[in-house]
Structure 1
Amino acid sequence: MSEIKDFKDLIIWQKGMEIAEQCYFVTKKFPKEELYGMVLQVRKSSSSIPANISEGYGRRASGDYKRFLNIAQGSVNETETHLLLSARVGLCTLKDMEIIINNLKEETRMISALIKKLNY
């Protein structure tokens, strides 16, 4: 196992970045009239996942870190909701979202495990 020197070494942050990147790519296919609607919502919520993980890590206090991890979890839920709604209103298909939603579930497991570890 390699040493963690900064937040970029965290697998949980790397997965969050992957999710955000996937969301940027999938929303490029959305209609132009959604640029300031659903495209913006999906991109903001997905980019908030790794942003909050890195911000919490930088706080160096486990209470602050847990708070930011909980915010990141909220952003995971928000992103999934936006993606599911996008499929429901015909902006994409659930098949288009399958990989991202699976990654969101994996991110949830990692966030929960890290919060649990910080409680000990």
Structure 2
Amino acid sequence: MHNFKELKVWQLSRQLVKEIYELTVDFPSSEKYGLISQLRRCTVSIPTNIAEGAGRNTDKDFAQFLNMSLGSAYELETLLILSFDVNLITQEQLDFLTNRISEIQKMTFGLIKTLRQESYV
């Protein structure tokens, strides 16, 4: 088992949750059950899947949960692009958040790769 709280990717994704919650406070109430809910749900799933996977007994299981976390990061990126398309966020907000997501995606992919290499040794 791994200590998820020590993983930089978990720490960054936890910060991302806060940023998305702060961002969506300014969305119109008509989006409460639309983009607000979807953005928050998939953002929360990034660190929670990392934590759940870290608690598993095998690196293979951990990698599987990291893949789910990675999928949520790509979903979040798409939802932010759509939020920009419908004028809910600015280009500056989109750029900042997609850069943050890209960093999380790269770190997650690197961790998956490391776990897979270690499990085949």
TM class by shorter-chain length? over 0.9
The answer for unaligned runs of 5 or more in structure 2 is none
Secondary structure of 1:98 counterpart: helix
Secondary structure of 2:15 counterpart: helix
Residue 18 of structure 1: how far off its partner (Å): 1.0
Superposition TM-score, scaled by structure 2 size:
0.92
- Verify the 8 A CA contact 1:45 1:75 in the aligned structure 2: yes
Instruction: Tell me the alpha carbon deviations over residues 49-98 of structure 1, each in whole angstroms, 9 at most, x when there is no partner.
Output: 00000000001211110100000000000001000000001111121222
Root-mean-square deviation over aligned CA pairs: 1.1
Aligned to 1:102: 99
Aligned to 1:19: 16
Aligned length: 116
Residue 10 of structure 1: how far off its partner (Å): 1.0
Secondary structure of 2:101 counterpart: helix
- Verify the 8 A CA contact 1:13 1:54 in the aligned structure 2: yes
Matched, 1:31 2:28: yes
The answer for unaligned runs of 5 or more in structure 1 is none
Superposition TM-score, scaled by structure 1 size:
0.92
Aligned to 2:55: 58
Secondary structure of 1:119 counterpart: helix
Segments of 4+ in structure 1 off by > 6 A? none
Instruction: Tell me the alpha carbon deviations over residues 5-32 of structure 1, each in whole angstroms, 9 at most, x when there is no partner.
Output: 7211111100110111111111111111
Identity among equivalent positions (%) equals 39
- Verify the 8 A CA contact 1:16 1:49 in the aligned structure 2: yes
1:40-51 matched pairs, under 5 angstroms:
40-51=37-48
Matched, 1:72 2:73: no
Matches of 2:74 and 2:16 in 1, distance apart?
12
Which residue identity is paired with 2:109? S
